[in-house]
Amino acid sequence: MELPKSIEIVEVGPRDGFQNIKEWIETDTKLKVIEGLVNAKFKKMEVTSFVHPKAIPQMKDAKTLAKTVVEKYQDQVAFNALVPNLYGAKAAWESGIRQITYVISASEAHNKANVNRTHEESLIDLKQLKKELPDMHVKLDLATVFGCPFEGEVAVEQVCGLIQASIDYGIEEVCLCDTIGVANPKQIEEVLTAITSQFPEKEFSLHLHDTRGMGLANVLVGIKCGIQTFETAVAGLGGCPFAPGAAGNIASEDLVNMLESMGIETGLDLGILQDTVDIVRNKIKDQLTSHMAYVDRVCKA
């Protein structure tokens, strides 16, 4: 396999990693984790989501947290927040966030479960969002691209239709998500080949969960298919609260270790990242899916 010189890793732990943890995480603890991730040299980070607290109580401090990290680290990190609708996008803008993730599930059934909208309704809201917040950088997360907990396999044609709609609306980025971690390397290659052949000029990123232990293998196939940006979560935290059976993300430290061991640069400090994993284990969740959380400290990457 021809390997790239470098790969970009986007940290999503403070959002996707924390969202399905039931016990309240103090804002100061969240900020301490984010500080560790900044010190580990992440340049892009998804820090919270602007959703109704009744839907995801863990995100009720979104405004406070966003304002704090933007004010403190805006010269070091491009912060992003997930939003389900125009209301959330406006709240993010008011909190100083200038890059957001808007989510549409490739599966209509999961879209209804996740954001209580049909595809048509989600696209209408996305179009209005771009109109009312023209200076907001918008990344579209296409969830359940590789499988849905309600519908099973999702047709590539359906995914491509949503991608085309996002292009028509001027969306800057599209991330393809394996929301419940059911993808296998063969499927990753088939789906990416079909999508990139239809949109050869478009760059995509991947958000992969490790539910069945195939996350890192899927990353390698993604790299083979030309993907250069991957989203991961510190300590392997995460999982969609509205997707039965969804488990954690690929652990950021596991991916950094694998890539750096292969001679692929990430620009990240593995030692500091592992120190941040310790904060997660000691203050948030004591049992982790991360492999690097349980090995001896290594030389800094």
Residue 145 lies in a domain: yes
Best CA proximity match to 8, nearest among 207, 172, 200? 207
List pLDDT tens digits, range 280-294.
999 999 889 899 999
pLDDT for the residue 59: 97
Q: What is the DSSP secondary structure assignment for residue 149, as one 8-state letter?
A: T
Residue 273 lies in a domain: yes
Contact (CB, 8 A) for 115 and 84 = yes
Residue 290 makes CB contacts below 8 A (sequence gap 6+) with: 235, 236, 251, 253, 254, 277
The alpha helices in 77-212, defined as continuous H runs, are: 86-94, 108-115, 119-132, 156-168, 185-198
What total number of domains does the chain contain?
Answer: 1
φ, ψ (nearest 5 deg) of residue 138: -115, 125
Residue 29 lies in a domain: yes
Half-sphere exposure of 3 (CA within 13 A, CB side): 14
Question: Is residue 240 flagged as an active site residue?
Answer: yes
List pLDDT tens digits, range 74-107.
999 999 999 989 999 999 999 999 999 999 999 9
pLDDT for the residue 285: 92
Residue 301 lies in a domain: no
Catalytic residue among 177, 225, 240, 299: 240
Residue 166 lies in a domain: yes
Using a pLDDT cut of 70, give the percent of the chain over it.
Answer: 95
Handedness of CA 46, 252, 267, 139 (dihedral sign): negative
Question: Exposed e or buried b for every residue in 22-33, given b needs 16+ CB within 10 A?
Answer: eeebeeebbbeb
Mean pLDDT of the chain: 93
Give the whole-angstrom CA distance, residue 52 versus residue 21: 16
Residue 251 lies in a domain: yes
Q: How far apart are the first and last CA of the chain?
A: 23
Give residue 12's identity as a one-letter amino acid code: V
Looking at per-residue confidence, does 94 or 298 come out higher?
A: 94
pLDDT for the residue 300: 45
Residue 300 lies in a domain: no
**pTM score:** 0.94
Q: Which residue segment(s) compose the domain that 84 sits in?
A: 8-294
Handedness of CA 252, 254, 255, 256 (dihedral sign): positive
3 state DSSP class of 151: coil
128 pLDDT tier (thresholds 50, 70, 90): very high
Residue 1 lies in a domain: no
Q: How many CB atoms lie within 10 A of CB 92?
A: 27
Q: How many CB atoms lie within 10 A of CB 78?
A: 15
Contact (CB, 8 A) for 206 and 229 = yes
CATH at 127: 3.20.20.70
